[in-house]
Amino acid sequence: MPLSGAFSQVRMMKNRQSRKLLAYRLALLLALLIPVPQAYAELAGDLDYDGYIGPNDLKTLAEHWLLNNHPGCQGDIDNDCDVDFYDYTYLADNWRIRYCSDVNATTSSTEGPAYLPSYAVDETWSTRWSSAFADNQWLQLDLGRIRNVGGLEIFWEAAYADEYSVELSLDANDWTPVYSDYSADGKYDLVLFSQQSARYIRINCITRATPWGNSIWEVFVITDDDCTPTSEWTLIWSDEFGGTDVNTDNWEFQIGNGCPDLCWWGNNELQYYTSRPINVRISDGNLIIQANEESYAGHDYTSARLRTYNKKEFIYGKFEARIKVPRGQGMWPTFWLMPTDFAYGGWAASGEVDMMETRNIPTEIHGVIHFGGEWPFNTWTDGTYSPGGVDFSDDFHVYTFEWEPTQMRWYVDGNLYRTENSWWSSGGPYPAPFDQRFHILLNIAVGGNYPGPPDGTTVFPQQMVVDYVRVYHKNILP
């Protein structure tokens, strides 16, 4: 099959017996195809000389086998000068193909239970995905981690899309178009585009060529990274707070006192949030959120609250911020996450994560999750970092939260202080509610149920200074 080019598909033998069979076939074929140095005679199939027979050897063998047996139309097994599904089926009789790691597939629709999206990435040629009999359907692949992607091999069934496009994403939220074909003929498509990092791939089937749906036997992803992660986490988004103004492509200002929907922000807080420079601004590469004691809009205090709602949303990852917190009775700074869709019901059935919060004289840092039923049937769990003798308002500290499907971890300056894997929601089964989109918030509240009101000892203004906010995705999911 045509595996040449700048990228390579990582393909492996399915089981030990198949590997032995491959080694035997390699030994027979190599004498005809490629001279093997005497030093590697005991590993006749070791074409890349790394000491074992692996996926790259299979790739080289396939290239040379096709080149020598079908030089007029490489890959054309059935001699119709059209490399298609049937040619690949022939080769599949000799070895099966798989991704280097599991690939999960989702879709806009299916024709029925016999045509699931997973069948387009199930390592076999006997099953396929098929959509409902409608235009504008899609098949989405999750590679499990961020990889360097340069193309796709798509094997269409007789029902195919004659107009389709391909998009890539790091987070399944922001998508980048990389390819389109508005006169496709089905069969086999080798889709190549400029190499870039992505975890998610979406094939948008725009119009159908037949009265039926859109159907794909198999999709293979072309990469050059050999499935070896360079680090455990990959940065997918950040705000380093450069420039002169808050980047409104990333952040939305929440204004007011929460009324009429959530008066006093649900906690009897005393501040009125504004977007005025006196409350929120960029200065010397930092985000400044400032709480003031002043008469404004019927309140005695003002502050600011920012969120990435409907701008940057995330499911799982590592969230990190370098922050210098304020100090004083009644101060309540927070770096936190809220659900975007409230898929499981009102607060806190859909969850809340406090990645960092503290209050008053900040000698303790708290990591909290809220979950359970809708208020007042909600509950929470809390973890505390208190190393002793540290006032966190004296300097910057790095606050990190790692969120995986069934575990959460909280750190301060790299020190793990809390691990949590137990929660529930009245709106759905575990791991609900923490399996949906969440967005980031930064704010200083003044007063409220948690810290109590300011007193004469608190000196205003007080500032929460944020050096950066960064979000990473894990390269290999558990």
CA distances (Å), origin 92, targets 57, 111, 118, 309, 411: 16, 26, 19, 47, 49
Q: Residues 167, 320, 352, 420: which is the catalytic one?
A: 352
Based on the number of CB atoms within 10 Å of its own CB, is 349 exposed (0-12), middle (13-18) or buried (19 or more)?
A: buried
Nearest to 285 by CA among 237, 252, 247: 247
Contact 156, 204 (CB under 8 A): no
Q: Verify whether residue 157 is a known catalytic residue.
A: no
Q: For residue 122, what are the contacts with CB-CB under 8 A and spacing of at least 6?
A: 218
d(CA 197, CA 314): 17
Nearest to 289 by CA among 450, 301, 392: 301
Q: How far is CA 118 from the centre of its chain?
A: 19
Radius of gyration of the chain (CA): 28
Nearest to 389 by CA among 363, 360, 362, 365: 363
Q: Verify whether residue 352 is a known catalytic residue.
A: yes
Contact 297, 419 (CB under 8 A): no
For residue 89, how many other CB atoms are within 10 A of its CB?
Answer: 15
Q: Residues 63, 167, 357, 402: which is the catalytic one?
A: 357
d(CA 375, CA 339): 15
Residues with catalytic function: 352, 357
